[in-house]
Amino acid sequence: MLEIYDCTLREGMQAEGLSFSVSDKLAVIRALDSLGIAYIEAGTPGSNPKDEELFRALADVSTDARIVAFGATRRKELTAEEDENLAALANAGTKVVTLYGKAWDRQVTEVLRTDLEENLAMVRDSVAFLKNAGKRVFFDAEHFFDGMAGNAEYALAVIEAAHEAGAERLILCDTNGGTLPHVVGEGVAAANKRLPDAVIGIHCHNDAGLAAASTITAVLAGAAQIQGTFSGVGERCGNADLTCVIPDLELKCGAECLPEGRLERITPVARKVAEYLNIKIPNRAPFIGKSAFAHKGGSHIDGVLKNSAAFEHIAPEAVGNKRRLLVSELSGRAAVRKLLERILPDTPVSDDEVGAVLAELKRLEAQGYQFEGAEESLELRVLALLGLRKKPFEVDYFKIIGETDRGESCTATAMISLHVGDERKVTAAEGMGPVNALDNALRRALTAFYPCISQVMLRDFKVRVIDNKDSTAAKVRVLIESTDGVSAWTTVGVSADVIEASFIALSDSLEYKLR
């Protein structure tokens, strides 16, 4: 079984715009552990107060995954016993420690500013020190592939020094992320030839867009441990994306990466991790993205309904995702019928109803609507067309008053009147701008009738000018993604008035939640 080693909590911290609290890190660890990840790199003890707090908290956390502390070899002017960072690793409370050291002679002489023999001693001393402290030690050979290109004998001597000192895993790092996959494969093969009894691992950055391909090539060449991050987060362009690498290895290469039955958890776990990292998984992300198994063209939909292998390289259920048949003006009758069968599972669907929905869909898309990214709004309109839309509320009117303070702030007040059944509610609310004020007023009015509305949060808000030929009078399309913390849904509104378009999308979002 291949070893999966996750670096999200350490490498991810180095990604621009990402920052994790201790509670976030603990939640991510629990999510990764539920997937069956073998090793989870938690951070660098002693480097900052947050990681120190995390390692203290981990003392009371039980996981099947092995938690790993990460740090550097000793500094050149110190002995291992004098180095504070090595002491912090020895006292971190983890059974496994990963050390990193330089495997490129230019890095040794130009960055560390020391000689090649001293660097080898730093590696040996640091590994031996932690082994004597009772630790399992992994060694990350930084810049290994650049080192192989410039001075192969020295790069191999570095990993040999770590191996002789007791390192259990030798991780070959494409630190600059620019090595081609076939060169990575050659480097892994060279390491295996030099040290046939060693366990070789791979750690690739994505600066050339090749991290996943290089990682898979390394496995085919004999690497037994795979390092990477979820959603590929990491320094600069990120790291090998485990949500691609793991399915590719299991489903394409026949390798075993996770315990049996866990692969179908990878999509929900990846989405949960993304929530804690406060990032949005791209719709087109392979395997786990919302669009990974989405079909829009009529001939594609017809083909996949007859034989899923016609337009899908794997079954979406294998990775915990699902097939989506997108209904648009390009759709055929088969896609519309499937939509109706999903919305009305217990009601027979007639050919006339299919034709009516298809005609209405084309009419709305001609006005600027686009439903493949807002299926929930489409569902509401289909129900209305069939006379089955029972609105949980009706808005009578709303009014917006805006005020700008010389560019310092833009505040607004919204007043809204609506009724639920025979009961009428009038309320007002302030906000940072007219749309925020309208959203606040609508929620305030509805929460009195439906307390669950307070759970709904806006996760994304997009405005798109449909046709700019009319300048500021052009129609706009507003797309809103909402969540209640359990599920997420997207709604759309179109109007020449951006506030009206926003209101349509907002009211659809809350109506869908109430359905």
DSSP code per residue over 152-214: HHHHHHHHHHHHHHT-SEEEEEETTS---HHHHHHHHHHHHHH-TTSEEEEEEB-TTS-HHHH
Judge contact between 228 and 215, C-beta under 8 A.
yes
DSSP for residue 467: -
Percent of the chain with pLDDT over 90: 66
Give the mean pLDDT of 121-131: 98
Q: Which three-class secondary structure state does DSSP give residue 329?
A: coil
Give me the chain's average pLDDT, please.
91
What is the reported pLDDT for 365? 82
pLDDT, mean of residues 241-265: 97
Winning range, highest mean pLDDT, from 260-264, 357-361, 475-479, 486-490? 260-264
Phi and psi at 110, nearest 5°, equal -100, -25
Q: What is the mean pLDDT of residues 341-348?
A: 85
DSSP for 55-106, please give it: HHHHTT---SSEEEEEEEPPPTTS-GGG-HHHHHHHTSS-SEEEEEEE-SHH
**Angstrom distance (rounded) from CA 309 to CA 101:** 46
In this structure, are residues 270 and 45 in contact, taking their beta carbons and an 8 Å threshold?
no
> What per-residue confidence (pLDDT) applies to 89?
96
Say if residue 361's pLDDT is above 90: no
Task: Quickly state the pLDDT bin for 405 (edges 50, 70, 90).
Answer: low
pLDDT reported for residue 382 = 87
Residue 108: pLDDT band by 50, 70, 90 thresholds?
very high
DSSP string computed for 360-410: HHHHHHHHT---TT-HHHHHHHHHHHTT----S-EEEEEEEEEEE-TTS-E
User: How many DSSP H helices and E strands does the chain contain?
Assistant: 17, 16
Of 407, 412, 408, 460, which is closest to residue 434 (Cα–Cα)? Answer: 412
Residue 164 has which token pair? 């002789």
What is the model's pLDDT at position 453?
92
Q: Span 427-438, mean pLDDT?
A: 90
- C-alpha 292: how far from chain center: 13
User: Domain segments of the chain: what residues?
Assistant: 3-277, 294-367, 394-514
Contact 273, 231 (CB under 8 A): yes
Element (H, E) at 136: strand 136-142
Asked if the domains at 3-277 and 394-514 fall in one CATH topology, the answer is: no
| pLDDT > 70: percent of the chain | 96
Side-chain half-sphere CA neighbours of 396 within 13 A: 14
The pLDDT score that the predictor gives to residue 330 is 59
CA distances from 399 to 242, 258, 499, 502, 509 (A): 49, 56, 10, 14, 20
Residue 235 has what DSSP assignment?
S
Q: What is the DSSP string of 9-35?
A: HHHGGGSTT----HHHHHHHHHHHHHH
3-277 maps to CATH 3.20.20.70: yes
Fold of the domain built from segment(s) 394-514: Double Stranded RNA Binding Domain (3.30.160)
pLDDT digits (tens, 9 = 90+) for 303-339: 887 888 889 999 999 999 998 877 765 566 777 888 8
Q: What angle do CA 21, 26, 31 make, to 5 degrees?
A: 125
Q: Answer yes or no: is pLDDT of 472 > 70.
A: no
360, amino acid identity: E
Decide: 440 and 414 in contact? Cβ < 8 Å. yes
